[in-house]
A and B are shown apart, each in its own frame.
Chain A
Amino acid sequence: MSTTLLTATNLGVKRGDRWLIKDVNIALKEGEITTVIGPNGAGKSTLVRSLLKLIKTSSGEISATKGLRIGYMPQKLKLEDTLPLTVARFLDLGRHKKHQLSPDLWHRLVHECRAEKLLERPMQRLSGGETQRILLLRALLRKPHLLVLDEPVQGVDVTGQVALYNLIGQVRDILGCGILMVSHDLHLVMAATDQVICLNQHICCSGHPEQVSQDPAFTDLFGPQGAGNLALYNHQHNHHHTSHGEIIDGQHHEGCDHG
C-alpha cells in the first residue's frame, strides 16, 4: 500500500457568510494522481490553496506527513518587466539546500520539459506553454513528495495540453510523487488520473475516473454534452446546468445538494 501524504477532513473555507468550499474530505497518496474537476467558481483553487496553507480555513483539519515537501505550480506567473530574470535564475530560486535532484535526474527532467534551450532566456519572453513547463520544472526541483498543480494547462494550446498531461504522468513515474491537479477540462485529464474529485462547493462525487463518469452527480455537474463525451451512460436529468454549473431549472438531484 502506498502511504498517505496529506489528508483533509471536513475542510471548509468561509468568506463573509458564504462557504467557498464545505465539508471536503480528501486523501492524497504517494504515486497517485488526484484530479479535482468542477465548473468555474466551484472552489477548486480555494481547495488547493487551503491545502497549501496559503489561505485560512474556517473549519476542518489538514494533516500532512512529517517533513512533507510540496512542489507547487501556481495557475499563472505574473512577472514585472522591470525584473531582469533568466529562466535558469528563476529555477535556481526554487532550489533547496538539502533536497536536490541528482544531476542525472535534473538533466532528464530538463529534457522532458524541453527546457534546454530556454534556460538563458528572460522569463518575460516565454510563451504560455513554455512558462507552464518551466513552472513545472521549478516545482520538481525540490524532489517533492507531493506535486500540486493548479490548472497546469492554462494558456496552452490543445496539442500542448496533451503533451503537458503526458509529461505530468511521466513525472509521477520518474519521481514517484503524489500529484494533486486542478482542472476544468474533463476529457484530457481523465485518462491520466487515478482518482477524480468533482467539486462544486462540496464534493459531488469522487473515485476512479470510470466510476465517476458513470455517477449521476457527475452528469449533473457537467451537463449531458460534457459528460456524454466521456461516458455512454445515459442519465435522465431532472435539472440542468449552465456551462458554469449553475442549476437553471428542475429540482435537486438527490444526494447532490448544490449551494
Chain B
Amino acid sequence: MADFLLWAWLGGLMIAAITGPLGSFMVWRRMAYFGDTLAHAALLGVALGLLLQVNIGLAVALVCLLLAILLSTLMHKRIIATDTLLGILSHTSLSLGLISLSLFDHQSIDLMGFLFGDLLAIGQQDLWWIALSCSLVFVVLIRIWRPLLAITVNEELAQVEGINVAWMRTLLMLLVAVVIAVAMKVVGVLLITSLLIIPAAAARRLSNSPEQMAVLASLLGMLAVSGGLALSWFYDTPAGPSVVVIASALFFILFSFPRTSKDA
C-alpha cells in the first residue's frame, strides 16, 4: 500500500474516533447548525493563517473559538432568533473567507482542498498534529464527560447541583473548534459537520446509553473513512465527499431496519 494512502487512512481514523463522542454531544445538544457556522468560519481562519504566516490549524481553531464565544454572547442577548443569527453569521463568515482567500495568489491556494477536504494530502507531519490534537480533545472529553452529560440533560438542574454550566459550555465549544481545525483536512469546511453529525445520528439507533452511542459513532465514522477512502482509491472519486456519502449510507441502512432496541 502506498505510504500516502496509509497516512490518509490513519489520520482519517483518528479524526473519526474523536468526532464520534463530540458529534454525539452536538446531536444531543442540537448544535448541528452551530457547528456548521463554526466550520464555515474556518475558511476565514485559513486566510488569517496564510496572511500572518502562522500554523493554519492554529489560526482556524482560534477563529472558530472566537466566533463561538461571539455566538454564545449574541445568543444569550437574544437579539434575533438563534437559527436566523446562525444563518447570517454562517454565510457571512464563509463569504468573508472566500473573499480573503481570493486576495492571495491563486496558484498557491488549493481552495477546493479547503472546502471539501484533501485527505490524500495528509503527510507524516500532519499525522503527528492530528494525533496530538485528537488525544488532547479525548483526554479533556473524558475528564468532563459527566458534568457535560449533566448539563446536556438539563442545564438548570446541573447548575443547582453545583456544575459550572457556562464553563462547561465554553469547554465544549473549544473542543469543537479544535476538532474542526483538524477535521478540515479530511472533509473540508463545507462537510465537517456531516462527519460530526451523521455517524452519531446513525449510532443512535443501536444505543441504549450515551457512552454506547459515542463509541458506536466513532466506529461508524471509522468505517465511513475507510469506505470513503476505498471508494476514492478504486473509483477515483473525491475522498472527502466519498467519506460523507458512505456515512450517510450507513445511517440510512441502520434506520431502514425495524427497531430492535426498546428505545431507539
In the assembled complex, B154 has its CB within 8 A of some CB on chain A: yes
Within 8 A of A (CB), among B209-252: 209-210, 212-213
In the bound assembly, the distance between CA atoms of A138 and B208 in angstroms comes to: 20
Smallest CB–CB gap between B62 and chain A, Å?
A: 30
| A54 in complex: contacting residue of B149, B156, B204, B213, CB < 8 Å | B156
A93 touches B204 (CB 8 A): no
Q: Flag whether B201 is at the interface (Cβ < 8 A).
A: yes
In the complex, what distance in Å separates the CA atom of A72 from the CA atom of B161?
Answer: 8
Quick check: A85 and B157 within 8 Å, CB to CB? Answer: no
A233 to B173, CA, bound (A): 59
Instruction: With a 10 A CB-CB cut-off, give which of B27, B28, B160, B209 has the most chain A CB atoms.
Output: B160
In contact, A84 and B157 (Cβ under 8 angstroms): no
Residue interface bits A206-230, CB-to-B below 8 A is 1, else 0? 0000000000000000000000000
Contact of A85 among B27, B29, B210 (CB under 8 A): B210
A70 at the interface (CB under 8 A from B): yes
Q: Which residues of A contact B27 (CB under 8 A)?
A: 80, 82
- Which bracket fits the contact residues of A? 20 to 34
- Interface of chain B: mostly helix, strand, loop or mixed: helix
User: CA A77 – CA B157 in complex, angstroms?
Assistant: 10
Q: Which of A72, A96, A122 contacts B263 (CB 8 A)?
A: A122
Of A83, A96, A125, A138, the residue contacting B210 (CB under 8 A) is: A83
Q: How far is the CB of B129 from chain A (nearest CB, A)?
A: 31
**Which chain A residues border B157 with CB–CB below 8 Å?**
72, 74, 77, 94, 138
User: Distance in Å from the Cβ of B197 to the closest Cβ of chain A?
Assistant: 10
Q: Known interface pairs A80-B30, A83-B28, A94-B161. Does A89 touch B209 (Cβ–Cβ under 8 Å)?
A: yes
| Chain A residues in 8 Å Cβ range of B212 | 84
Q: Which of A84, A86, A90, A125 contacts B213 (CB 8 A)?
A: A84
Pairwise interchain contact A122-B262, C-beta atoms closer than 8 A: yes
Q: Is the CB of A86 within 8 A of B201?
A: no
Q: Tell me if A163 is interfacial: C-beta within 8 Å of chain B.
A: no
Is A79 part of the binding interface, using a Cβ–Cβ cutoff of 8 Å?
A: yes
- Expressed in whole angstroms, the Cα–Cα distance for A113 and B180 within the complex equals 45
A142: Cβ under 8 A from any B Cβ: yes
Chain B residue numbers with a CB within 8 Å of A138 are 157
Given the complex, which residues of B lie within 8 Å of A124, measured CB to CB?
263
| Chain B residues within 8 Å of A122, by CB | 208, 262-263
Contact of B160 with A72 in the complex, beta carbons under 8 Å: yes
> What residue of chain B has the Cβ atom nearest to residue A79's Cβ?
B153
User: Once the chains bind, are A86 and B159 in contact (CB under 8 Å)?
Assistant: no
Which residues of chain A from 102 to 130 have a CB within 8 Å of any chain B CB?
Answer: 121-122, 124-125
Is B150 interfacial (CB-CB < 8 Å)? yes
Residue of A nearest to B30 (CB): A80
Q: Does B146 contact A (CB under 8 A)?
A: yes
In the complex, A82 Cα to B156 Cα: how many Å?
Answer: 20
Identify which of B146, B150, B160, B209 contacts A84 (C-beta below 8 A): B209
- A125-B264 Cα distance, complex, nearest whole Å: 11
Contact A90 B153 (CB under 8 A): yes
> Is A191 close to B, CB under 8 A?
no
Q: In the complex, how many angstroms separate the beta carbon of B250 from the nearest chain A beta carbon? A: 16
Closest to B28 in A: A83
User: Nearest chain A CB to B102's CB is how many angstroms away?
Assistant: 39
Shortest beta-carbon distance from B251 to chain A in Å: 13
Is there a chain A Cβ closer than 8 Å to B152's Cβ?
yes
29 example contacts (A-B, Cβ-Cβ < 8 A) are as follows A49-B156, A52-B156, A52-B159, A54-B156, A72-B156, A72-B157, A72-B160, A74-B156, A74-B157, A77-B157, A80-B27, A80-B28, A80-B29, A80-B30, A82-B27, A84-B204, A84-B208, A84-B210, A84-B213, A84-B264, A85-B209, A85-B210, A86-B209, A89-B210, A93-B150, A93-B153, A121-B263, A125-B263, A138-B157
Given contacts A52-B159, A80-B27, A82-B27, 14 further A-B contacts (CB under 8 A): A54-B156, A72-B160, A74-B154, A77-B153, A79-B153, A82-B204, A84-B208, A84-B209, A85-B209, A93-B153, A121-B263, A122-B208, A122-B262, A142-B161
